[in-house]
Amino acid sequence: MKNYYSKYTPFLFLIPAMLILLLFFFIPFVESFILSFKSYDHSLYNPTWVGLANYQALLGSKEFWQVLWNTVLFMVVAVPILVVLPIIIAVLLSQNLRGITIYRVISYIPVIISIVVAGIAFKWLYNYDGLLNYLISFIGIPKVEWLTNPDIAIYSVIILTIWKGLGYYAMIYLGALATAPKELYESCDIDGASVFRKHLAITIPHLMPTISLVAVISSISAMKVFVEIYVMTQGGPMNSTKTIVYYIYQRAFENLDIGLASACGIILLIITMGLSMANLKYFEQQNQIG
Amino acid sequence: MKSKNLLMHICLIILAIVSLLPFIWLVSTALKSSSENIFAYPPELIPRHFTLENFFGVWKQIPFVAYIYNSLIVAFFTIILNLIFSSLAAYPLARMEFKGKNFVFFAILSTIMVPFQVIMIPIYLMVLKLNLVDSVSDFNGFLGLILPFAVNAFGIFLMRQSYMGIPKEMDEAAIMDGCNAFELWYKVLLPMSKPALATLAIFTFVGCWGEFLWPSIVLSKQTMFTLPVGINHLQGVFSSNWRYISAGAVISTVPILIFFLSLQKYFIAGQNQGGLKN
């Protein structure tokens, strides 16, 4: 094919997107490092260079370590459930049953509902004299202070995150199940294997790449959890639900401590780095890059 | 076989109840009249006196129309810009050879690795520097909400994938007919990428419609609130008036619910696949 474009043509097409990325990604990205070495304590317009002082302040602050612990706890509890439970849901949703489309649609509604509305709904559900405490009383569990007990509040937020994520990850698994080797299931049927064994022997190995993908993306989103907490607990009680992003938000936009917040952002970047690289690898495989 | 299907149906019904219960409880509370104690224990799921007064009450006090209008403006232009910028940028990456291609390619890819939350502070400073805030004008405020999300790597790669699936012979035929590079993009590649454009539009809409963190950082005027910011604001306005809060939350969910139900085949995987045999 003869050349129908000059050497400048590609850049004409790239300019709009690259300009946006430059202004709202690359420059801010570089600046996020610079900001983390500055202090805005004395003036918002004349920051002073303080070197590693923000990082030292962070690592020496008890609140930061609690925030980090809360975030890790959030991830460690939420991710395994978000990896495993949607597999079961996807297998259920993949059955040829009457009305299966309706079940699929309903199970996706939590994903589509705004996280703010979901937060409000759960706050109301978690009310001390509310519906949830009434429902658990049937299985003999006494009333729980879902959002006011510092030992419990973070799990209540995790429950919301799980509720909202199940449908999303189930759809990812459902997509992968569509390519499951049907002949294997049939030969299993002939051998008379149980449903459970069948899935253990065929479904799980088939889903393995998807399982690790879900583990990576659910871990990344757990590291970034924010809105649930903003809407339901504001980080309380007693900082028990304050996570990294909430802390950054509060430091930067409520206390105007931009330097410290930026340092915390860099730490978040470092922590998520490994996860993001894994994520990128899946993305590359999918897009046949190279 | 029958009993196994029954068991499956029971599991699926439980799943459906769990998925819907928090929302049903909101609807129930919103429908209860002021003569009813919404804090009654045991709670009552079915209102004794159905009423729509909470919906009218909250509608009168909260500028929902403005919130929905703001959210629609932001979503509409974010989608349009994403469609244009992504489909433009993807074209040379899919079809042309040029110096620095690899560099551009990996520069775009690298944006996936950095969470928005890490760079939201400098982005905010950038938006301030460019005067894209609602204290300057509503128009600037909208620009500040839209431009940082006007393009993203996923959109570019989605479009690139779509172009790469179009046979190169199509390009050759178009060039024989005298098309230049722009016409080739506009007349051949773009029309053949409608499914990818639709997917990109739908997922940009959903992401944009639910976005809370960024608007809550940049917005200062209540008249500029998008729906999620406005709904969160309800909690402060009505403190413990859960009838109004619930009614407001339900109202705000109607648009996205209609959107989802009418386009559900784009969201639900494997719509056309035969189910697994069991």
What is the model's pLDDT at position B277? 33
What is the model's pLDDT at position B269? 64
What is the model's pLDDT at position A287? 67
With CB atoms and an 8 Å threshold, state whether A253 touches B217. Answer: yes
Minimum-distance CB partner of A117 among B160, B213, B253: B253
User: Is A224 inside any structural domain?
Assistant: yes
User: Is A12 inside any structural domain?
Assistant: no
What is the model's pLDDT at position B278? 32
pLDDT at A290 over 90: no
Mean pLDDT score, A158-170: 97
What is the model's pLDDT at position A2? 56
What is the model's pLDDT at position B273? 36
DSSP string, B160-222: HHHHHTS-HHHHHHHHHTT--HHHIIIIIITGGGHHHHHHHHHHHHHHHHH--HHHHHH---G
Mean pLDDT score, A131-137: 93
Interface test with A, best of B24, B240, B276 (most A CBs within 10 A): B276
Would an 8 Å CB–CB cutoff place A92 in contact with chain B? yes
Mean pLDDT score, A199-228: 91
Residues from chain B contacting residue A289 (CB–CB below 8 Å): 105, 109
Tokens of A181: 């080797």
pLDDT in tens, A231-248: 999 998 999 999 999 999
pLDDT in tens, B130-171: 999 999 999 999 999 999 999 999 999 999 999 999 999 999
Would an 8 Å CB–CB cutoff place A67 in contact with chain B? no
pLDDT > 70 in chain A, percent: 97
Phi, psi of A48 (to 5 degrees): -110, 150
What is the model's pLDDT at position B272? 37
What is the model's pLDDT at position B274? 35
Interface test with B, best of A111, A131, A287 (most B CBs within 10 A): A131
Q: Which residues lie below 8 Å from residue A47, measured CB to CB, with a gap of 6+?
A: A35, A38, A39, A40, A258, A259
Minimum-distance CB partner of B275 among A100, A134, A289: A100
Mean pLDDT score, A156-166: 97
C-alpha to C-alpha distance for A167 and A108, rounded to whole angstroms: 5
Would an 8 Å CB–CB cutoff place A76 in contact with chain B? no
User: Is A1 inside any structural domain?
Assistant: no
Q: For the stretch A81-109, what's the b/e string if a residue is b when 16 or more beta carbons lie within 10 angstroms of its beta carbon?
A: bbbeebbebbbbbbbebeebeebbbbbbb
Residues from chain B contacting residue A25 (CB–CB below 8 Å): 111, 114, 119
With CB atoms and an 8 Å threshold, state whether B16 touches A103. Answer: yes
Residues from chain B contacting residue A118 (CB–CB below 8 Å): 22
Domain hosting A81: range is 58-284
Minimum-distance CB partner of A276 among B85, B113, B148: B113
Domain assignments of chain B as residue spans, ordered by start? 60-267
C-alpha to C-alpha distance for A215 and B79, rounded to whole angstroms: 29
**B60-267 is classed in which CATH architecture?**
Orthogonal Bundle (1.10)
With CB atoms and an 8 Å threshold, state whether B117 touches A265. Answer: yes
User: Is A206 inside any structural domain?
Assistant: yes
Are B150 and B85 within 8 A, CB to CB?
Answer: yes
Q: Which of residues 197-216 of A touch B (CB under 8 A)?
A: none
What residues in chain B have per-residue pLDDT under 70? 1, 269-278
C-alpha to C-alpha distance for A86 and A165, rounded to whole angstroms: 9
pLDDT in tens, A77-96: 999 999 999 999 999 999 88
Report the domain count for chain A: 1
Tell me which DSSP letter residue B40 carries: -
B137 Cα to chain A: minimum distance (Å)? 20
**Global confidence as pTM:** 0.91
Establish how many alpha carbons lie within 13 A of residue A230's alpha carbon, considering only the half-sphere containing its beta carbon. 25
pLDDT in tens, A241-288: 999 999 999 999 999 999 999 999 999 999 998 888 888 888 777 765
A6 Cα to chain B: minimum distance (Å)? 9
Minimum-distance CB partner of A105 among B25, B181, B264: B264
pLDDT at A289 over 70: no
Minimum-distance CB partner of B85 among A20, A105, A262: A20
As for the ipTM of the complex, it is: 0.91
Minimum-distance CB partner of A268 among B18, B118, B147: B118
pLDDT in tens, A2-59: 578 888 899 999 999 999 999 999 999 999 999 999 988 766 777 889 999 999 999 9
In A5-75, the DSSP E strands lie at: 38-39, 48-49
Of B127, B121, B92, B129, the residue nearest B108 (C-alpha):
B92
Interface test with A, best of B68, B77, B242, B268 (most A CBs within 10 A): B268
* CA-based nearest residue in chain A for residue B45: A131
Q: CATH number, domain at A206?
A: 1.10.3720.10
